[in-house]
Structure 1
Amino acid sequence: MKRENDSFAWNWSRQPESIVELKEWQDCSETLNMVTLNNSKDRWVWIEDSKDGFSVKAVKKALIAERGNGRLTNFDWCKWVPIKCNIVAWRGNLDRLATRVNLRRNVDIISVMCPFCNEFEKTMKHLFTACLVATRVWAAISVWCKIPPIYIFEFKDILDIHNYSQVEKKAKNIIQGLVIISCWSIWKGRNEVVFNQISRSPQEIVREIKSRGYAWFKNRTSCNYIS
């Protein structure tokens, strides 16, 4: 095969005969006709972000779009909270935590029931917003932080709790961190049930949130907003 003018000339060893071969040749010809050749040096370019070049942001945007969500979900990272807690909340915001329902897409799961209550399928929504363990945790956190009762229906509602709290800016930052720590503690409690068969009550999870929240906040700041 060689290119002559604006089209390719085919040098056949034999002519395509079957319908399948003719279709493949047609598809190949259409693809090759879209190729433009010149004498410049070969180089790599990032098509998704050709204006500014390659960037991690462009890759992230492309991956999320490939999953069927063309809009980047907003997530505000809390600086005084450990990165492991932020990552759990960030992945939860993307519905990318390895819940049983999510794993069922690619793994043979015997049961998809919630390990806490064993009454409903363990989706992201149920585990963090509807399960009895989670609702009791959020009720205790609202009392501790002296904010109105927390009513949540989606995971994104959890991450907006601090924005709707009628408190000053610094206190909002503390509430945001405690909410993220709560998500991490609930997820950690779930893992202990699944992998170690250790059941944890809502009261135990709340005690962990308070102790770790106080310690982490004290280590990262010199403010006295948690008592």
Structure 2
Amino acid sequence: MAWVSWKQTLASLEKGGIGIGTIHGEEAGLGDTTCKTKGIWNSIVNLIKSQHITDAIPNGSMVLKIGNGYFELTNCLIGDRFQNGEWHWNWIRPPSTSANMSLFLQDLHGITLNNDEDRWVWKPEMDGMYYVIGTRRILDDYMLPTHFRAIRWCKLLPIKINIFLWRLLNDRIPTRVNLAFKGIDINCITCLNCGIGGDARDHIFLHCSMAVSLWRRVRTWVGLVWPDNIDSTDELFTWIDSAFGSRIYSDRFLCVTAATLWWIWRLRNDIVHDLREVKKSDLFDSIRLVAFSWLKSRGKDAPDWKSWLCNPM
């Protein structure tokens, strides 16, 4: 069962995806190609025409900017033929018709010559230089959706935890409520921990009695005052992004938060599948251990274990 569309997965982090990008996704909806072989650059070349048709990259995005008008075959400059405001030609073979000459002069009209070399200019960029990342951004903005919530990809967390948080914030996890919404026949959609609320994202991670008790211990451990108006995981991560002046402490608390959410989810799945591998009594210690291991293996300013147990911040 697909919980996230492929196009949304390809989108950049700022657009709510995980940053794979259009040029790496053959199913991103970039149009048909006539190329029979695979490969990223081969696909890019074959897709140029379709991008012009859809106006994702308009015709004329790459233009030639005339500088000194150097003509390599004759080793001369066009500017050498312009003297005292008039063109003076020394044709080896004159134009076949006056019409061709008129078209040639029309092309030269308005051109300002200088001492720079002729060069190709990529108009979508301010400096006129072509960048693969810039073209990818154009294609992503034009073709990929942007309705997902953007997430800050934390380098201190394993990739699977970052993806878990991304799915969690966008409510793309297989809770019983979500499964029922997708048409799956579910006998009961109530929370298996407390039996009161529904097995939905915000209840599982914030409002279930088990989660409330666990978060209370976490807040006491880190020594932070929890805002009273946090009712959803979206509000929780918005608060984390704005509550800390230092990126170091923000990342540390994000590690603790991610570990807490991860173990709550593992406990919930353990109950659903009757695995009996996770004990509620061990949750808090597991959170402190796994958060410390992430920070120690990926961070540069990790505290020692004793200091971590006393206060991770």
Q: TM-score range by the shorter chain?
A: 0.5 to 0.7
CA spacing shift, 1:221–1:50, aligned 2, 3 Å: same
- Residues 1:76 and 2:152 aligned together: yes
The runs of 5 or more residues in structure 1 that have no matched partner are: 1-40, 62-69
- Residues 1:87 and 2:163 aligned together: yes
CA spacing shift, 1:138–1:60, aligned 2, 3 Å: farther
In structure 1, the residue matched to 2:97 is none
TM-score normalized with structure 1 length: 0.68
- Distance in 1 separating the partners of 2:276 and 2:267: 8
CA spacing shift, 1:218–1:126, aligned 2, 3 Å: same
Match of 1:114, as an amino acid? C
Say which is worse superposed, 94-103 or 171-180, in terms of deviation.
171-180
| Aligned-pair identity (%) | 22
In structure 1, the residue matched to 2:106 is none
In structure 2, the residue matched to 1:139 is 216
- Distance in 2 separating the partners of 1:126 and 1:49: 45
CA spacing shift, 1:196–1:164, aligned 2, 3 Å: same
CA spacing shift, 1:166–1:116, aligned 2, 3 Å: same
Say which is worse superposed, 138-147 or 192-201, in terms of deviation.
192-201
Give the greater-gyration-radius structure (CA): 2
Q: 1:117 aligns with which of 194, 199, 205?
A: 194
For the 8 Å contact 2:189–2:198, the answer to whether it is kept is yes
Instruction: Please state how far the C-alpha of 1:196 moved relative to its aligned partner.
Output: 2.7
SS at match of 1:160: helix
Q: 1:218 aligns with which of 284, 293, 296?
A: 296
The runs of 5 or more residues in structure 2 that have no matched partner are: 1-45, 58-134, 309-313
TM-score normalized with structure 2 length: 0.51
In structure 2, the residue matched to 1:172 is 250
- Distance in 2 separating the partners of 1:196 and 1:204: 17
Count of residue pairs the alignment pairs up: 179
- Distance in 2 separating the partners of 1:110 and 1:91: 24
CA spacing shift, 1:102–1:178, aligned 2, 3 Å: same
CA spacing shift, 1:134–1:150, aligned 2, 3 Å: farther
Instruction: Please state how far the C-alpha of 1:49 moved relative to its aligned partner.
Output: 7.8
- Distance in 2 separating the partners of 1:111 and 1:46: 52
Match of 1:50, as an amino acid? A
For the 8 Å contact 1:162–1:173, the answer to whether it is kept is no
Match of 1:142, as an amino acid? R
In structure 2, the residue matched to 1:186 is 264
- Distance in 2 separating the partners of 1:199 and 1:120: 24
Deviations, residues 87-121 of structure 1 (Å, cap 9, x unaligned) = 11111111111100000122111111112112221
- Distance in 2 separating the partners of 1:81 and 1:57: 27
Q: 1:130 aligns with which of 204, 207, 222?
A: 207
Deviations, residues 46-76 of structure 1 (Å, cap 9, x unaligned) = 9888135784565541xxxxxxxx6331211
Match of 2:296, as an amino acid? K
Give 4+ residue runs of structure 1 displaced > 6 Å after superposition: 46-49
- Distance in 2 separating the partners of 1:136 and 1:46: 57
SS at match of 2:223: coil
In structure 1, the residue matched to 2:117 is none
CA spacing shift, 1:205–1:167, aligned 2, 3 Å: farther
In structure 2, the residue matched to 1:50 is 56
